[in-house]
């Protein structure tokens, strides 16, 4: 909710969305780094007995597996958000990408939508992080992805109309 409020209150919404994605990536990296630091301290403290090192490692991995899943999930979502926000931005590379994609977005809109659907389906099949295998998060992500595609398509076609 805080991220949604930050984007809503932002004077430049695209920059706000970009910052939210960057925060998710940085938070995921930070959590994984803290986990690594904690692992060293906790495993060393638990593994004082002979041959207890592997048991302590396994216990730490099991105890923090959900933390790893959440961190990786936030990093993946952040990467997708940053990529989407960058693509609609004012930079030359983003405009060049939109210019390159304009003919496909104009002439083959159905194929572009099908391509996004296939990409989301492959993400679900691959299931790199837990939220990609859950129904509600994937439905929300799919709705957001298709809304973003239609908004980006409309903007791209306004910027780069067909040349007769």
User: What digits encode the pLDDT tens for the residues 83-135?
Assistant: 999 999 999 999 999 999 999 999 999 999 999 999 999 999 999 999 999 99
Query: What would the mean pLDDT of 58-82 be, rounded to a whole number?
Result: 94
Residue 30, pLDDT > 80, answer: yes
CA 53 vs. chain centroid, Å, equals 35
Query: What would the mean pLDDT of 24-48 be, rounded to a whole number?
Result: 90
pLDDT band for 34, please (50, 70, 90 cuts).
very high
| pLDDT over 70 percentage in the chain | 99
The CB density around residue 101, as the number of other CB atoms within 10 Å, is 16
CA distance linking residue 127 with residue 131, whole number of Å:
8
Instruction: Name, in order, each residue with C-beta under 8 angstroms of 151's C-beta and a sequence gap of 6 or more.
Output: 88
CB 21 within 8 A of CB 79: yes
Q: What is the pTM of this model?
A: 0.87
- Report pLDDT for 164: 64
CA distance linking residue 3 with residue 128, whole number of Å:
24
Residue 53, pLDDT > 80, answer: no
List Cα–Cα distances, 24 to 77, 82, 93, 145, in angstroms. Answer: 7, 10, 23, 18
Nearest in space to 134 (alpha carbons), one of 65, 84, 77: 77
Cα angle, residue 111 at apex, residues 107 and 115 outer, rounded to 5°: 140
Per the prediction, the chain carries an average pLDDT of: 93
């Amino acid at each position: 909710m805080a991220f949604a409020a930050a984007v809503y209150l932002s004077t430049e919404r695209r920059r706000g969305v970009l910052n939210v994605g960057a925060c998710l990536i940085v938070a995921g990296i930070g959590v994984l780094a803290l986990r690594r630091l904690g692992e060293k301290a906790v495993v060393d403290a638990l593994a004082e007995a002979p041959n207890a090192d592997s048991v302590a490692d396994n216990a730490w991995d099991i105890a923090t597996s959900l933390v790893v899943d959440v961190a990786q999930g936030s990093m993946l979502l952040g990467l997708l958000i940053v990529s989407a926000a960058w693509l609609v931005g004012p930079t030359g590379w983003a405009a060049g990408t939109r210019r390159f994609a304009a003919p496909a977005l104009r002439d083959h809109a159905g194929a572009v939508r099908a391509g996004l659907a296939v990409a989301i389906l492959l993400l679900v099949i691959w299931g790199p992080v837990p939220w990609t295998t859950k129904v509600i998060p994937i439905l929300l992500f799919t709705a957001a992805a298709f809304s973003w595609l239609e908004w980006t398509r409309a903007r791209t076609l306004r910027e780069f109309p067909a040349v007769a």
